[in-house]
């Protein structure tokens, strides 16, 4: 069965520190991979996506993610976190003709 795990329910980092949010998937087909962000009281915004090619993808707001097929992972990174990055982050997986599957989300808190 298709599944997406985000092992960290809640992460707290200090402003200016680096960030890595983990995402692992189990998917029978070649996946397309996404990260979404949801700020408090807002809808979901796409941060970045991986379809093919370079396994390191750049997104908006200074985020990047690396696809590692051997580890079935698509971890999200940011070198220096800003207070405005406090939000909930969702990893998602899709494939041709397949249902989208979302992970349970990771809530990020940022300390001043």
Partner 1 sequence: EAQVTQNPRYLITVTGKKLTVTCSQNMNHEYMSWYRQDPGLGLRQIYYSMNVEVTDKGDVPEGYKVSRKEKRNFPLILESPSPNQTSLYFCASSFIWTGVFTEAFFGQGTRLTVV
Binder to partner 1 among 15, 32, 66, 73 (CB under 8 A)? Answer: 32
Binder to partner 1 among 21, 57, 92, 108 (CB under 8 A)? Answer: 92
Q: Are 86 and 108 in contact (CB under 8 A)?
A: yes
Number of residues that bind partner 1 (CB under 8 A): 19
Cα distance between residue 112 and residue 73, in whole Å: 30
Q: What share of the chain is helix, strand, coil (3-state, %, to 5)?
A: 10, 50, 40
Binder to partner 1 among 51, 58, 82, 84 (CB under 8 A)? Answer: 51
Shortest spacing between CB 85 and partner 1, in angstroms: 19
> Is 40 among the residues that bind partner 1 (CB under 8 A)?
no
Q: Are 90 and 9 in contact (CB under 8 A)?
A: no
Of 46 and 56, the one with the shorter C-beta distance to partner 1 is 46
> Is 76 among the residues that bind partner 1 (CB under 8 A)?
no
> Is 59 among the residues that bind partner 1 (CB under 8 A)?
no
Q: For residue 106, how many other CB atoms are within 10 A of its CB?
A: 20
């Amino acid at each position: 069965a298709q599944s997406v795990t985000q092992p960290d329910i809640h992460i707290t980092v200090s402003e200016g520190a680096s960030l890595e949010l983990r995402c692992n998937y189990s998917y029978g087909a070649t996946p397309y991979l996404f990260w979404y962000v949801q700020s408090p009281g807002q809808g979901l915004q796409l941060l970045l996506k991986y379809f093919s090619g370079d396994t390191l993808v750049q997104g908006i707001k200074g985020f990047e993610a690396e696809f590692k097929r051997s580890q079935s992972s698509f971890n999200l990174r940011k070198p220096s976190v800003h207070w405005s990055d406090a939000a909930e982050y969702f990893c998602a997986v899709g494939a041709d003709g397949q249902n989208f599957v979302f992970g349970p989300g990771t809530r990020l808190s940022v300390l001043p």
